[in-house]
Amino acid sequence: MASNEQPIIIKKIKKAGHAHHGGAWKIAYADFVTAMMAFFLLMWLISMTTPEQKQGLADYFAPANVSRSTSGAGGIMGGTAFDEEGARMPGTKPQVVMTVSTPAQPRSPEVEEQEAKRAAEMNELMHEKSARDESNFQNAAESIRQSMRENPALAELSRNVIVDQTPEGLRIQIVDQDGRSMFPTGLAEPYERTRQLLDEVAKVLVRLPNRVSISGHTDANPLAGRPGYSNWELTADRANATRRILEQGGLSHDRIYQVVGKADSEPLFPEDPYMAANRRLSVVLLREAPVTPPGFSP
């Protein structure tokens, strides 16, 4: 018996493959996209930054300074060289320094003679001023000691006065001793004996032209009983009280160079900062620099 089943026919269609075009276009496209992203990022940064930030960015990416010199033979660099400063931190401003060296002009013997003469005059003035200060300081120190010897009320204070010379000038120190203070505890105004001693110091100072520095000092013991008022304020007030007494004694106010309170920052005896002698007044007759002659140039 004939079969009614139809045969199944499977038809396979083979498609032809496309030609291979390569991947170079992908690299070019990626470079293009990256460049566009960088461009839009740059535009966004420019629109969001302040003028000061823009200047800082410009300074950061600025090249090294260029300085002009006279070396070289006019080649490619033309005597131009980069200096050693290199890139700068943001906020600094680049500078282009142009330096042109000129050959030194020979000086005439007359000019050299004048400069040598001026230098000699300056040296002579300095020596004269130094010698004058030395003589004045010695006389002032002796005058203070003599006034204390001749005044019975001050003779007993001889151990409270130290007179010496320092690089700054003639230093007169009025120091406390155990059992004999120059100021009442915690107060700025001195005892009457201290005031009399400062009057004698003023008589010596007014005879000299030098400026005067006044400083107050104390020991390392903290000041108690006055909230917000420390040894810094106390020593400054004592130095100012001393200034007023010296001015009342005839010292011109324009001779005062400085008035400072130093608390316990400069003890007279560092090995024992609690020692009574660290509480003191320091009056310094300052050394003065000589006046430069007109037309003098070092």
Q: pLDDT of 168-179, one tens digit each?
A: 999 999 999 888
Burial letters 3-34, b for 16+ CB under 10 A, else e: eeeeeeeeeeeeeeeeeeeeeeeeeeeeeeee
Top pLDDT among 123 and 219 is at 219
Does the CA dihedral 105-107-111-112 come out positive or negative?
positive
Distance CA(235)–CA(187), nearest Å, equals: 9
Q: Per-residue confidence at 155, pLDDT binned at 50, 70, 90?
A: confident
Q: Is residue 283's pLDDT more than 50?
A: yes
Residue 101 has pLDDT above 90, yes or no: no
The reported pLDDT for the residue numbered 203 is: 92
pLDDT above 50 for 245: yes
Q: Which of 14-28, 67-81, 165-179, 198-212 has the lowest mean pLDDT?
A: 67-81
pLDDT number for residue 217: 97
For domain 130-286, the CATH class is alpha beta
Q: What do you get for the CA distance between the two ends of the chain, in Å? A: 139
39 pLDDT above the threshold of 50:
yes
* pLDDT mean over 255-278: 96
C-alpha to C-alpha distances, 97 to 61, 72, 100, 289, nearest whole angstrom: 18, 18, 10, 36
How sure is the predictor about 23, in pLDDT bands with cuts at 50, 70 and 90? low
What percentage of the chain carries pLDDT values higher than 90? 38
Say what the pTM is: 0.57
Sorted by where each begins, the domain ranges of the chain are 24-82, 130-286
| pLDDT surpassing 70 at residue 285 | yes
Mean pLDDT of the chain: 78
